[in-house]
Amino acid sequence: MKPVNVVVLGGGLVGCAAAYYLARRGAGVLLVEQGDLNREASGRNAGSLHFQLEYRLIRYGDELAAQFAQIIPLSLVALEDWRGLEAELRADLEVGMHGGLIVAESDADVALLERRQALQEKWGLASQLLSAAEVRRMAPYLAESVIAAGYFPHEGHANPRLVAPAFARRAEELGVTIQSQTRVTGLMRDGAQWVVTVVDRSGRAREVIADAVLNAAGAWAGEIGALAHLHLPIFAVPLSMNVIERAAPLIPHLVQHASQRLTLKQVAAGNVLVGGGWPSRFSREGSAMSTQRRADPVVENVMANLTLAARLVPAIGGLHLLRSWTGITGITTDQMPLLGAVPEAPGFFVAAGGAAFTHGPTYARLVSELILEGRPSVSIDLYSPARFSHINNFMASV
Amino acid sequence: MSKRITVGVVRPSPVSIFVNGKAVEAYEGESVLTALIAAGVLATSRDSFGRLRTPFCNMGVCFDCLVEVEEGGRVSSRVRACLTPVRAGLRVVVPEGR
Amino acid sequence: MGASDQQVSDATCDVAIIGAGPSGLAAAAVLREHGVGVTVIDEQPRAGGQILRQPPKNFSVAHWLPAKLYDRVKAALHAVSEQQDIDWRFQSTVLGILRPSAYRTLRADASGAAGPESAAVRSHMERQTSVAGPDQKLGGGAHELWIQGPSGCYLLRANAVLLAPGCYERPLAFPGWTLPGVMGAGAIQGFVKSQQFVPGNRFVLAGSHPLQLVVADQLLTAGAQVAAVVFTQRKQQALRMLRHPFVALRHHRQLLETSHILRRLRRAGVPVIFGHTIVRADGAHAVEKATIAEINPSGTIDHHKTHVFECDRIGVCHGFLASSELARQAGADMHWKDHAGGWLARHDDWLESSIKNLFVAGEITSVDGADAALEKGRIAAVGILRSLGRLDDNRARSLASNARKRLSHLQRFAAVLQQLAQPPAGLALQTMSDDTLLCRCESIQRGELQRALADNKHVLSADAAKLLTRVGMGLCQGRLCGDNVARVIADARGVQPDEVGPFQAQAPVKPVPLAALTRERITSPRPRM
Ligand SMILES: Cc1cc2nc3c(=O)[nH]c(=O)nc-3n(C[C@H](O)[C@H](O)[C@H](O)COP(=O)(O)OP(=O)(O)OC[C@H]3O[C@@H](n4cnc5c(N)ncnc54)[C@H](O)[C@@H]3O)c2cc1C
Ligand SMILES: Cc1cc2nc3c(=O)[nH]c(=O)nc-3n(C[C@H](O)[C@H](O)[C@H](O)COP(=O)(O)OP(=O)(O)OC[C@H]3O[C@@H](n4cnc5c(N)ncnc54)[C@H](O)[C@@H]3O)c2cc1C
Ligand code: FES
């Protein structure tokens, strides 16, 4: 085994992909995951590859939307990354980029689409506004109530079940050591190095010394930050997802709604995935919300989510809801990713937050370039944890 | 061949249901699955490979008996045939061919 | 209130019982006697559970289940089944057991819930929710059931829940097991006892559970042909256990019944074969023959020593798996006991699970049979009365003491039977070939899972394997493959099946038609394959 240069904390998509990119550049990598690989957000998400601005970014007024639109340059990089991913990993990831429609059902929706369109254009993402007739032609499966849609031809989806495991397989081929069912419980800086305490399934603790640590713990990135005596302003939120039984191919696009929480797509096996950011609920542990247990579904939200889906795509109304599940993802205070070095803790890197299924491989690639080469091939300064230096300034030990 | 037990059993008068449009005699209250098997239909749906699916549990667990049922001109969603009682005039759609 | 016209209930639901089998019925009787409001929910059209699947109401059956072994459960059924003060909700599936939340109204912000549909959903939910009166204690301990009834989905709040969902048959996967005509032996029995229908002509029954003798006997009585009854156990082994002094003395009734059945089968010329297992089903479009093979003394199948039986139906009978999904979904502590039904709910003396006011009874605590299920239902009911403050501890103890005594006797017999009825270790792994469908719903072969495990060394749990390969992702939600999947993974990783875990259970625990969820009239047919 190579000496460990980097310990990657978290075995979701970001962690598995980072392990791969780091190893490809020759680093010795240990990846530590408290549960099984890909069992949290990265394996439980909706699989949307959305490059247009999501509803959560546009709904809080023009000023904030303009700020959130800064994600687009990264989205455009991610788009290119996804195009090459199946070849790079020699795996079928069920990537389908056949276009995304954000549908409008009212004049207010149309106005929202227009604003979104303008912002996207400003940052170099060329989407179109389709008329009712154009929508009908392109997507005959949509209901009559759809009067317009924002269209971007390269949006789509991939299968979350497959992506992180493919990265993990390739990472292992490159010599990465993966320890699942192993939890990180301590992080200490010792001179230029990090001492990482990990506890395996049988409760045995050991220490690993590394030059750098990469916090890829998703919704739990804040807790990992705390182990290193840092504040990372990322919040765990519980979402829900639904899958409808298999049907004949019907929906080639990624479908979203202009003003309501909905994402809908049909995966390769024929199942229709319905989500869109409807909340589930954390259970309580004393006075705190528990992020270590699966969140509970909120039945009304499941019903409302599916009602909306069946309204927009009437043909799915005769099918069964196969399963619903919940997943926990991390949202930062300003909705931008936390991507880069924490200046107050040399050797401590973060890649978390945001829509990190779409952006995960890109986060991972760029942050590994930063770790090993000092600068990434595309600037990620906009997303740097340095923007929270006004907090960590008071946390740093030196 | 399957058969309904008649010794010691009194059923209501038979009604017609329609399996792929063809009239089949059945009894109100018995399960749609019973009526189908009595009519010689064991294959209730197809899997993704086009293979016939066939009821296994007769108690609502396997979902292999999901059939499309139409009542009063309305297509309802599919139901588990083993849990659904026959009513007169029910129309059932099952896979045709092998 | 009748099942079909059940629309809105504004009655306060003190106790909701999930499952109208022996344990649910026995509990309902006790609760009712104490003046507690009881709502009984069951997917089936009538009460009785699996052992007493009743014929349709409008049938009249002269000698329904005449055997003595049904007497006690029948009495329990008749004691309550016509009681109008019990709120019976048949053809109703419990989809989840949820913690009630303060957050119970849809958020009507622009984000999602706005619009007439969500308002309709909301008002529907409000109507169907039994809201407890102000004097009721709702906090810690109350539960909310997500129910799919005949007219759609709704939530029902209950101060205490008794979960008595029984068990289902443990499937064995072997080449041809998805061919039309292969069913559970209990499934076949269900047709006979409830539908008064013989679902085939010539049957082979194969497995390890003595239930198949009962089924064979019932088939013969109904005029069917039974080509063979095949047991995995060797004859000596079966006899040795049955002659166990405890069993022989205490349970002579059951033994007598068994020997009567064996005699009747012999007289009818039905071969009862020991030490063999079903290894394949063949037929062009449906079952035409069953192949069985000898199991040698070391427990491995000898594929050279086979017999073939012509038949049009095969009933497989390898015991039962507890219907553990709701308990797991609710987050109750579970434990695994292979021969007692797989994943079982842990409970205290009063059959309260690890979750307050979620009681468990019947096969979900251990597959001990119908008579034991009755006693568990009675004990749990007393436990509920005690927990709701209707009985003090002393009174509760004395009320439950007879049931406890009977239960402990029954459980000693059950333990012997469980051992006797357990298929030989490793049988499931031997009957599945590489291309046998492990997961019927998603058409995943055993070999596919095995290759995925070889390629992905970090897959250790059933859930991780599911995510990677789709096993267990289909309509049965893993009920028919979960046990076998766990065995394959455990074998590949050199661990025990319980370390692999069950698939995670989530609400809804069974698929639901979208129409029932959205309450919108469906006008277009489903897209076809
Ligand atoms: C329901 C849902 C739908 C979503 N839909 C989309 C979508 O359509 N498109 C999109 O782009 N994004 C979507 N997202 C967001 C996306 O899934 C996440 O941003 C992304 O998966 C995050 O990847 P990750 O690797 O950072 O985190 P995760 O996949 O959550 O991985 C973090 C890992 O860290 C591990 N960990 C935590 N603490 C420790 C510790 N102490 N020691 C060791 N390991 C630890 C965890 O067990 C976990 O496996 C969705 C999220 C959810 C929940
Ligand atoms: C197919 C089959 C045949 C059997 N035949 C016999 C036999 O002949 N003799 C014998 O001694 N034992 C038999 N058994 C074993 C038998 O189940 C028990 O001994 C006895 O019926 C157990 O009683 P119970 O109350 O625990 O559960 P059950 O009798 O199984 O009752 C549970 C009830 O809960 C309902 N239910 C489950 N989940 C839900 C849900 N989510 N929503 C709504 N309702 C739900 C079911 O419809 C069922 O009616 C059989 C078991 C099976 C599976
Ligand atoms: S036969 Fe299994 S669900 Fe109906």
Distance from CA of C313 to the nearest CA of B (A): 10
Tens of pLDDT, residue by residue over A251-284, are: 999 999 999 999 999 999 999 999 999 999 998 8
Q: Do B48 and A246 touch (CB under 8 A)?
A: yes
For ligand 1, the distance from its centroid to the CA atom of residue A360, given in whole angstroms, is: 9
E strand segments, C182-312: 182-184, 197-198, 202-207, 225-231, 272-273, 276-282, 289-295, 301-310
From ligand 1's centre to the CA of A332, what distance in Å? Answer: 13
The two structure tokens encoding residue C280: 């394949």
Q: Is C201 close to B58, i.e. CB distance below 8 A?
A: no
Report chain B residues whose CB lies below 8 A from the CB of A270. 48
Report the distance separating Cα C226 and Cα C244, nearest Å: 30
Q: How confident is the model at residue C504 (pLDDT cuts 50, 70, 90)?
A: very high
pLDDT the model gives residue C130: 33
C127 pLDDT more than 60? no
Mean pLDDT of chain C: 87
Summarised one tens digit per residue, pLDDT across range C438-466 is 999 999 999 999 999 999 988 989 999 99
Which residues in chain A are contacts of B75 at CB distance < 8 A?
318
pLDDT for res B1: 82
pLDDT digit string, tens, across residues C286-333: 999 999 999 999 999 999 999 999 999 999 999 999 999 999 999 999
Q: By CA distance, what is C460's nearest residue in A?
A: A36
Confidence of residue C259 (pLDDT cuts 50, 70, 90): confident
Alpha-carbon dihedral sign for residues A40, A43, A44, A48: positive
Residue C528, pLDDT > 60, answer no
Which CATH number is A97-155+236-332 given? 3.30.9.10
Q: Is C451 at the interface with chain A, CB within 8 A?
A: no
Instruction: Grade residue C247 by pLDDT with cuts at 50, 70 and 90.
Output: low
Residue C284: domain span: 171-318
Specify whether C160 is located in the same domain as C218.
Answer: no
Mean of all residue pLDDT scores within chain A = 95
Question: What's the C51 CA to ligand 2 centre distance in angstroms?
Answer: 6
The fold of A6-43+161-233+334-392 is FAD/NAD(P)-binding domain (3.50.50)
Q: Is position C22 within any domain? A: yes
Confidence band (pLDDT; 50, 70, 90) for C416?
confident
Q: What is the pLDDT of residue C99?
A: 82
Note the pLDDT of residue C2. Answer: 36
Instruction: Give tens-digit pLDDT for A124-168.
Output: 999 999 999 999 999 999 999 999 999 999 999 999 999 999 999
- The CA C44 to ligand 3 mean position distance, Å, reads 12
State the distance between the two ends of chain C, measured CA to CA, in whole angstroms: 40
CB A226 within 8 A of CB A342: no
Q: How many CB atoms lie within 10 A of CB A174?
A: 17
Tell me: do C159 and C177 sit in the same domain. no
Residue A4's pLDDT band, with cuts at 50, 70 and 90, is confident
Q: Is the pTM of this model over 0.90?
A: yes
Instruction: Give the gap in angstroms from C-alpha A323 to the nearest C-alpha of chain C.
Output: 6
Highest mean pLDDT among A250-264, C105-119, C252-266: A250-264
What are the boundaries of each domain within chain B? 29-93
Q: B48 versus C232: which is more confidently predicted?
A: C232
CB-based contact C24:C46 (threshold 8 Å)? no
Q: Which ligand is nearest to the CA of B44?
A: 3
Q: Is the pLDDT of residue B50 over 60?
A: yes
Overall average pLDDT of the B47-59 stretch: 86
In a domain, C511, yes or no: no
pLDDT of residue B98: 64
Q: Who's near C104: CB < 8 A, 6+ residues apart?
A: A300
**DSSP string over C301-368:** EEEEEEEEEE-SEEEEE--EEE--HHHHHHT--EEEEGGGTEEEE---TT-B-SSTTEEE-GGGG---
pLDDT of residue A207: 97
Are residue C354 and residue C467 in the same domain, yes or no? no
Q: Are residues C401 and C337 in the same domain?
A: yes
Are the CB atoms for A155 and C462 separated by under 8 Å?
no
Q: DSSP character for B20?
A: T
Q: What mean pLDDT comes out for the span C383-404?
A: 97
Asked whether residue C244 carries a pLDDT value surpassing 70, the answer given is: no
Is C190 a residue whose pLDDT tops 60? yes
Q: What is the pLDDT of residues A194-237, one digit of tens each?
A: 999 999 989 999 999 999 999 999 999 999 999 999 999 999 99
Confidence of residue C213 (pLDDT cuts 50, 70, 90): very high
* pLDDT for position C126: 36
Collect all residues of chain B within an 8 Å Cβ-Cβ radius of residue A319: 77
d(CA C242, CA C258): 10
Q: Is the pLDDT of residue A26 over 80?
A: yes
Q: Where in chain A is the domain with CATH 3.30.9.10?
A: 97-155+236-332
Contact A320 B48 (CB under 8 A): no
Same-domain check for residues C150 and C177: no
User: Based on the domain organization, do C226 and C269 belong to the same domain?
Assistant: yes
Among the partner-chain residues B8, B37, B98, the one whose CB lies closest to the CB of C285 is B98
d(CA A305, CA A309): 6
Nearest CA to ligand 2 atom 39: C165
pLDDT at residue C254 in the model: 74
Task: Say whether the peptide bond before residue C508 is cis (omega within 30 degrees of 0).
Answer: yes
How close does chain B come to A249, measured CA to CA in Å?
Answer: 12
Question: Is the shortest distance between the CB of B24 and ligand 3 below 6 Å?
Answer: no
User: Domains in chain C: how many in total?
Assistant: 3
Does the pLDDT at position B62 exceed 70? yes
CA separation for the pair B39, B31 (Å, rounded) = 13
CA distances from A99 to A53, A138, A269, A296, A348 (A): 14, 10, 19, 33, 38
| Mean pLDDT on C515-522 | 64
- As a whole-number percent, the residues of chain C with pLDDT over 70 amount to 86
Chain B contact for A323 (CB, 8 A cutoff): no
**Are the Cβ atoms of A310 and C122 closer than 8 angstroms?**
no
pLDDT band of C249, cuts 50, 70, 90: low
Q: What is the pLDDT of residue B46?
A: 83
- A110 CA to centre of own chain: 27
pLDDT confidence of residue C258 = 84
Chain segment A341-394, per-residue pLDDT in tens = 999 999 999 999 999 999 999 999 999 999 999 999 999 999 999 999 999 999
8 Å CB contact of B77 and A318: yes
Q: Six-digit token pair at C249? A: 């003395």
Q: Is the pLDDT of residue C356 over 50?
A: yes
Ligand 2 atom index nearest CA of C361: 26
Q: What is the pLDDT of residue B37?
A: 97
Mean local confidence (pLDDT), C197-220: 96
**C358 has which bridge partners?**
C161
CB atoms within 10 A of CB C218: 18
Interface ipTM: 0.97
Interface test with A, best of C125, C518, C522, C523 (most A CBs within 10 A): C518
Question: Is there a single domain that holds both residue C397 and residue C272?
Answer: no
Res. C520 pLDDT band, cuts 50 70 90:
very low
User: Between chains, do A318 and B48 touch, taking CB under 8 Å as contact?
Assistant: no
Ligand nearest to the CA of B33: 3
Residue C140: its pLDDT value, please?
57
pLDDT reported for residue C387: 95
| pLDDT tens digits along B30-40 | 999 999 999 99
A321 and C513 within 8 Å at the Cβ level: the answer is yes
C-alpha dihedral, A302 to A305 to A307 to A313, nearest 10° = -130
Indicate the top mutation candidate among B56, B58, B59, B84 to test ligand 2's pocket, ranked by most ligand atoms within 8 A of CB: B59
* Mean pLDDT within C415-443: 93
CATH of the domain at C37: 3.50.50.60
> Which residues in chain C (118-157) have CB-CB distances under 8 A to chain A?
118, 121-122, 125, 146, 153, 155
pLDDT top residue among A85 and C521: A85
